[in-house]
Each structure stands twice: as C-alpha cells, then as structure tokens.
Structure 1
Amino acid sequence: MKPLTEVKYLNADNVSRYRCIMRIFFDNYEKLHYWLYQEDVFEALKRDPHFEDYRMEQCQQDLAMLTEWKNLNTIQDTRKVASIEEFKNKKFRYQMSEYSVEIERLVIRLENLFVEGASLEPTLLERIRRNVERFPAMAEKDTGEVYTWWTDLNNDFVRLNQNYQDYIRDLNSVKAEKMMQTKEFLVFKDHLIDYLRNFIKGLQRNVGAIDEELRLLPDEIKQRIFDKIVDYELSIPRMDVEVSRGKISEKTIGRYQSIYDWFVRENGQENEAAKLFDATNDIIRRITRYAAQISEKNAMGANRREEYRKVAEMFMKCKDIREAHKMSAMVFGLEQPFHIKGDLIRETDSMNQSVYEEMPLDIKLKPRVRTYREKTNRSAIRESTEDKKEARKRILEKQREEMEKIQALEQDGRIDFANLPVIEPRIREILLKWLSNAVEDSTSMARTERGRRYFLDRSREQEKCVIHCEDGNLTMPHFQIVFQEEVK
C-alpha cells in the first residue's frame, strides 16, 4: 500500500529534464557502464540543442531530486581526494536503482507499443506442444536441463497469452471497427482472414494433443519435475533476497496450473483455448459481414451514365429494327418471357455460381386434356425367396464373426475397457452400445442381442482409460462389463 516515489520523475514539473537524465543512465546501463559522475550527465545533456542553456547547478539539483526519489543510488568518490576541503565538497558517483531500470524498460515498451504490435503465431503453439510432450522425459534429466526446458515452456506460454489478448483487443477496438467500414479495408481483407484461419488451424492441430498430454500426465512425474525446478531455484545465489522452498514450490505449481487451465477443458468449463477459437471465428464473421456491406454500398452508388452511353452507341450501330430487337432482348431481357418454376435442390449457396454450372432440372410436361391417362406398365411378381435367404445367411454370418471377436476380448467373464487390444470400429460400436444400455438402466444391468445378461462395473469410473482403435484413440472412464451368464 506504500506509494511508489520512484515513478514521480515521469510526471513532475521538470519532467523533460528528469526523463532525459534517466534515459542517459539507462543507455549507459545497457552498455554495462553503471556508475556516472555529475560531469558525465551534464556533458551528455549539453550535446542536445534543447539543453543549450542548461547549467551545472541545475544538473546538481536534478540529480539530488532523483536521488531523493530513490531513482539513483549514490556513493562518495574518495579516490582522488587531496585535501580536507575536497573531502567536504563531496563528489558523488551515481547509479540507477533496480526499480528505475524496470521503469525505464516499461517506458521504452510503451513508446514502441504501436510500432511492435501483437501477433498470432501458430509456431508458439507447436513449440508448447513439443515441450509438453517432453514432460515424462524431463523426470530423468538433471536439474539444469529441466530448469532450461521449464523456462522455455513458460516464456512461450506467456508470449502466446499476451500476444493473443493484445491482437484480439486491437481487432475489437473502436479504431478497427471504423477501419472495417472503409473501402480501403477491402484491399487486405482476404489476407487478414487467411492469417486468422491459419492460426485457427494451428489451434486445431495442437490444442487437442496438449490437452491429452496434460490430462494423462501422472502426478508422480509432475512432482519429481517440480522438485527439480525448486532445487535449481534454491541453488541460485541471490543478493539480499531470502527465498523459501514453499514460496518457490507454490509459484512453480501455480504456473503449471495456469498452463493446464488454458488448454484443458474439465467439468464442462470452457478453457481459454476454446474462448480464443470462438473469438477468432467471430472476428472472421464480422470482417466478412463488413466487406459484404461495403460491396453492396458501392454497387448501389455506382454511376451508370457511362454504361447507358455505351449501350446507346451499340443500339445506334444496329443495321435494322430486327437486330435492335435482338440487342434489346440481350440487354433488357425478353419482353414476354416464360417462367418455369421447379423444386430445384441447389448444391451450393454461393452467389458467384453461374446458372450454367447448376445441375439441370427435368420437368415432365403432361397434356391438358380430361381424357389423358398415364400409361401403366405391367410387370410380373418376382420370386425373391432365394435372395432373402442369401441375405439372411450373410447377416447371420457377419453377426457370428462379430460375436467371436467380442468373446475373444472376454477374460474371466468380464470385458475390461482398460485392457483391450487394438479393435475394429464395428466392435467398438457394439461395446459402446452395450455400455449405453447398462448406463440408462437404474440397476446398471442389460442384455446383449442374443439375450445374455450382463452388469456394468462402475467402481473405477473416476479413472481414465484409452481404447486404441484402428481409426483412432478414445479416452473414456474406466468401465468393466461383467457377464452374469455363460455363452450359449
């Protein structure tokens, strides 16, 4: 709750002098030249025409004020003192304080805020995914390598989070809204949409993999990695700073939890990645809507005078009235056209699709007379008993093969979803149907298609398991189907 006196120089009466002095100190700090004399500061200011009338007394007062505000640290220089009088007239060396260094860095960032700007980088998502995939391997590495990997992961995550918030904020600003309503916006509209869609593809490719890696990561491996990070932090020598193991551990776990909450969706709660996906799609829809409005506005306000003049010249070049009638039919349409209306099913809703690219619609015209009757074709009744028997035989054979495959998965009268081998999609459908029937029953019991009774064991429902299928992997609760009857 204490006031920050270190920022007073940014808004004081002589702010132009204070800020220039602090910038001189910061530029030298960047060059590893930490200590400056009063004469060094004075000479640097005098090189600027703005400080042509600047005096040494003013420089001394300014340095004293900055020292009082704790922006500068001072130490008396006694190396070249030759008399008591020189010792009394203290000659100081000045150095920036830690707060001042960070304040100047912040000011420089604010000065370049609209120059640098923000961006959406799919490469950050890929780097985060690769680092998250290295979680299990890091448990066996030494503390130095683990700390470097952990620092890279956190830096990428911070950049991703800050960049997406700044970029989405810029696109939702009042300035962006006004620009989207101008004709100039149409020039780079497609480029902006491609940029956003490319980022969405990066989201779709990486977020799901990161989600699964973080959810399936064992607590034991996480704790071993956290301990190595804390050990390395404690081994770093620090000046005048005391750190406890509890605080460092709390900070490390908090950073991991932030990454976990950003990518993982739990208990139906929307994570930050899903919010970013929705926000990006909403911006694309808004850009498209504004572009369509601008195009319609331009079309409504177009000047048709030159078009009419050109058409009139074409009419004047016609040889006779018959050719003029043909020209009129082409320009204005037929005078009495026939309209045939049909129940046409379009394959696309694109407004750019030509009529000639549409599929034709066949219309059967019937005579308009009362005596017209549609001709009926006589056909014999076909005997399809053999075809039905053959089809039934194929269905039963397929069911028998499926049951044999399912029976092969059964061990001691039960099917454990956590211990299944790689299965076919059809076998997975049957097992999930049995599972659904038992879940819907209040007693968790049901029967198979062949009447075999089974019970759904939900004792380990809180655990997760992965079913490996030929067409992908399915993560689900750990269920077991327990049969009450033997195979008939």
Structure 2
Amino acid sequence: MKINEKLTKPITEVNYLRAENVDRYRVIIRYFYEQYEKIQYWLYKEDVFEAMIQTGLFPNYTLDQCQSDLSSLTEWKNLIAIQDTSKVTSIEEFKNRKYRYQLSEYTIEIERMTLKLENLQVEGASLEPTLLERIQYQIMCIETLQDASMLEIHTWWKDLNANFIRLNQNYQDYIRTLNSAKAEEMMKTESFLLFKEKIISYLRNFVKGLQEHAMILEDYIQNIPFETIVILIEKAVNYEMSIPRMDDKIQKQDIYDNFMARWDSIYSWFVGKNGISEVNRMSDITNEIIRKITRYAQQIGELQNQGANRAEEYKHISDLFGKCQDLNQAHKMSALFFGVDKPLHMQAIHNRNTDSIDSGVYEEEITYYALEPRTRVATVKTKRQPAQDYNLEKEQQRLEILEHKQAQNEKLKNYIQDGVVDFEKIDILDGESRKILLSWLSEGLNDVSKTAKTDDGRDFYIDDSNLKTIEVKCEDGIFVMPSYRICFKR
C-alpha cells in the first residue's frame, strides 16, 4: 500500500453531505448535477434560486441565502466560480461581481456515488463508435428474441442498457472535458496546435459513425411494435423476479416501471419527441466544438505569423522610400502604404437605387440637401402654432382607467368570501388579480403586526396559522405557495 499526500489529506468536498444546512446543499448540488447531465455546465445564482423555490421545500428561501449557500459550496470546492464580465457595461456592475458556477470534478464523482440506484459507471471519457454498432446490432435482434428464453432476453436487456449507459456517460464526460475552464485555457496556448488535428479527426469520426448508425436506428425503432417491447420487458422482469435475493423483497411493478422508463429513454435518445432527438443535439454540440477548436487554432496561427517577417517588410519599405526622387513622390508612396492622410468623404447620399459596390458616384441620381447658414445673423424663422388641447383625450383616458379599475374590483370581490381571501379555496385565479392579491400579502407580511390597507382604505390582516404548501390554479399555470389567508376587518 502506497501512502501519499492525496491519501492522507482531508476531502473538503464531502462537507455538504453533513453540514448544518445539508437539506439545502444537497438540493443545490443535485440541481447542478441534473443540469450537468443535460450539458448545461454554467449556472447563475438566479437559476439556482428559482429551482429552489420551485421545489416547494423552502418557501421562505431568499436570494441572499442562496448567495450564502453558493459561497459555502465554493469555499468547500464543490463549485467553481468564475466572474462573468461578458455583459458588464459599467464599473458598478464590475464591482458587484456577477459569477457563474460549475460543479467541480470531485463533486461530480461524489454525486454519482450518491445515485447508486441509477448504477452510473465512472470511467475514462471517450467517444467510441463501436458502442453504436453494438446498440444497432442489439436493437435489430428484437425480432428474433420473441421466442427466446427469459434468460436470453434478460441478458440481451442488460447488455443493451449497459452499452447505452456507457455511450451516454462517456459522451457527456468527454464533452465536459472539452468545455471545462482548463480546456478553454489550453486551447489558447501554442502547444494546443500539436494535437488539434487529432481532436478534430477524433470528433469527426465519431460524428460520421453517429450519422451512419443513428439514422438506421431511428427508422428501425420507429417501426418496432410497442406490443413486442412490452412482451420482451415482461419476460426480463419475470426473470429478474426469479433471482433469489437475501435482502428486502422488491416489487414487480417497480422493476417494470424502471425497465419501461429505460426503453423510453432509448427511444427518446434516437427518435426523439417533437422532432428533436438527443442524437441531433449531440451532433450539433460536437460540430460546435469542432468550430471552436478550429477558431482557436486560427487565432493562434495569426498571432504567430503576425510578427514573423515584419522586420524584413520594414527594411524593404525603407529601401523603396530611399529610391524616391523627391518629396512629392515620397508622399505618394506614403499614401500607398499607410493610406491617405486627409481623405475626402461623400456625404448626404440617400435613397440609392442599387446596393452594388461597383456603382460609381456619377451613375447615381442627384440628391438635394438643404443647407442652413451657420451665422448668428441669418436665422430660420419659426412658425408659431397654437397649443393643442388634449383635455378630451385625457378625459377619455381617465374614464378608461376608472372602467378598468371598476372591472378589476368586481373580479376581486369574487375571491373575497365572508371577508376572507383563502388561496386554498380559489378555483382559478387570473394573472392581474393574482398580482394585486400578492401585493396585499406582501404588504401585510412586511408589517410587524401583519396588518395593512388596500388602495381604497380597507384594513386587513394576514392569517398564517396552520400553514402548508398548496397549489393555486391560475390561467397561466400552477402557482405553489403557503396557505395564507387575507382577512378584512369589519
């Protein structure tokens, strides 16, 4: 057994599994991991805060608490924070330091360890087209497996799932390494040019294999009868149930649902839903990486060649200037090399009949441009006009506002039953009324005595006894909130 520094040093990345606010930390890391599975590596704190609120587990969660949790996870090296300066337009915005966050490699492996039921394999990232060949062979064997034994069908099912998981996992890991911050820095170095062609060739071979097998698989999977899949999965489930186990008894329905969900993932991966499959996304992402690698390599090449023969060029230009016969010829030579010192520009050319760059000035139509004198004596006389009367428009606008406000008050009366607005008993809530009710609720909760007044002077207080999480049906979706009650004083 070899003892080294890595073995004896503490692993701070596991602190989030046993910290005081472990419930919040676990949910945040799981959200980052699910987005990482979708190849969405960088997230802002606003994205994390919205996801935490949508869970319904933290109704009083604030943006400041989210920032504190992200800072703790960054300090424990679970997250990698990089300041986003791409949209900074002022010094104040730069000082506020808006960060993007990414999972660290240690945390990814730790989170995979916590997902034992998903049986994710942690292995070296690579893109092997042979996995696509195996999956194609196993999918095309479905017709011959209907009369096979349960053992053969179970073995086929296990091999198909193992190859599919390896393909998906290896691709995600490999793409993540190419999109990591370390890879971004490496692509900007000159040493990257040595194996740039190998990476591009490797990715293109994978895309080629993907296009060859994916189209065949898509067409073949679409034509497989669903009844055939159900029969095969039922036989695989029956064999799984026949295996003697010493641990807790598993439910047959759970295994069946798991197997059907896996087949649905395979179907969505190759065929897709709504015309978009994971194969198409994978091809687009790979092509984008190839373009990015080529762009970086081109920039490095331009920087290398920028000062290659500049000294010889300057020497040759100085020789040409030395051969000029007079100063006028030297001026012409300077205009040729460095451009005209004071060029003339054509202005006031409007409404061109053609966008051709070969069209000359004399071929264009004449444009007239009105000039005004710049002297203080000659001024343009202004025409006096009487002030316009907008009283009618103002009265019409006032009546429209009053009519709209009266209609909104009628809507609000429907939500007030016996002087109480009970969000739990509301059948359906429109968007404008929801905005007003939530503003009342916010004003009441911000007060120490939890009382406030409406715009028309009605007093109310907030009843927060027996709080629980409820779902309010709205015209534009489902609104999850605590079961507050707005009670009006008589």
User: What's the TM-score, normalizing by structure 2?
Assistant: 0.40
More relative contact order, 1 or 2 (CA 8 Å, 6+ apart): 2
